[in-house]
Amino acid sequence: MGRPDREAFAAVVQAGIERGLDVVEAWRAARAAKPTRALEAQRQRAIAAHNREMRKYERRKATLTTRTIGGTAVAGVAGTVGAIDVIAEITTSQAAVYGPSWMWLGAAVVGAVTAITARRSARTLVTPPAFVAPIGPPPALRPDAIGAAESQQLIRLRVQLAGIVPTLDALHPSAAADLRQADTEASPPLHALIERLDLLDRMRRELGTSPAADAATTAAIQVRDRLHAGCQTYESLLTASASLLAAPDVSRSTGEVLTPAIVALQAYTHGLQRSAETFGA
């Protein structure tokens, strides 16, 4: 094999290796982005659920307002016409407008009842609580960047916490609200640390071998340690949430709810058996 052939062969091999490295790098980047997509998906679901709740509230409020206005208008018009009819019937022994007076007065009563009921329902209509959108995912770090592992750990912990909140909402609403508030307050500073790591990683790659690059590396290690401490705190929060899910429920237990039904079925079965024995005899 001549030298040109060897060089061509080496070039083909090098190109293949570079393509393989590109594939591996793309796979690692996609794998690292998976928790980020999960966190963003949970954020979008929370926003969509709040929007649905707000639309439902606005529709209900508009319906009650329409009923109040319509019922008041019907009561006023029908009551006026009914009163005119009553006066006409008393004075002339005939209806002043089409229809007997009792029909108009009945419509006035229905309109008034509708307006009063709608107004009371509007007063007791519960406004949805103030909504704070969950904090979105932080910028994605390169898989080889300092702090990339801690960044992915933080995102995974936030995804797990977001999955716990709906269950806590059904069991302990106040605890779920506290958990949301804690995540809302704690995540922005930690995301800011990840943004610093991203900036320091770019500095390290762009400056090459220089004192500034060494300083960026040292700073990135310090920021990574702070991010690691934040992840430890999130793990403690996740542990406390899991312990709360395992805590006894202060409401009625399953036995208290089902025991009366069991006793009733047993009594019913016993009564059927006695009836069968009586008729068999």
Q: Where are the domains of the chain?
A: 51-131, 135-245
Give the number of other CB atoms < 10 A from CB of residue 55: 10
DSSP 129: P
What does the pLDDT read at residue 106?
81
Q: Which tops the pLDDT comparison, 93 or 270? A: 270
CA neighbor of 75 nearest in space, from 119, 134, 130, 9: 119
Q: What is the pLDDT of residues 1-59, one digit of tens each?
A: 555 555 655 565 565 555 554 444 443 444 445 667 777 777 788 788 888 888 888 89
What is the average pLDDT value for the chain, to the nearest integer?
A: 77
For 76, 92, 101, 108, 172, the CA distances from 84, given in Å and listed in that order, are 12, 12, 8, 13, 59
Q: Tell me how far apart the alpha carbons of residues 173 and 187 are, in angstroms, rounded to a whole number.
A: 21
| Local structure of 101: helix, strand or coil | helix
| Token pair in block for residue 223 | 């920021």
Q: How far is CA 165 from the centre of its chain?
A: 8
What does the pLDDT read at residue 79?
77
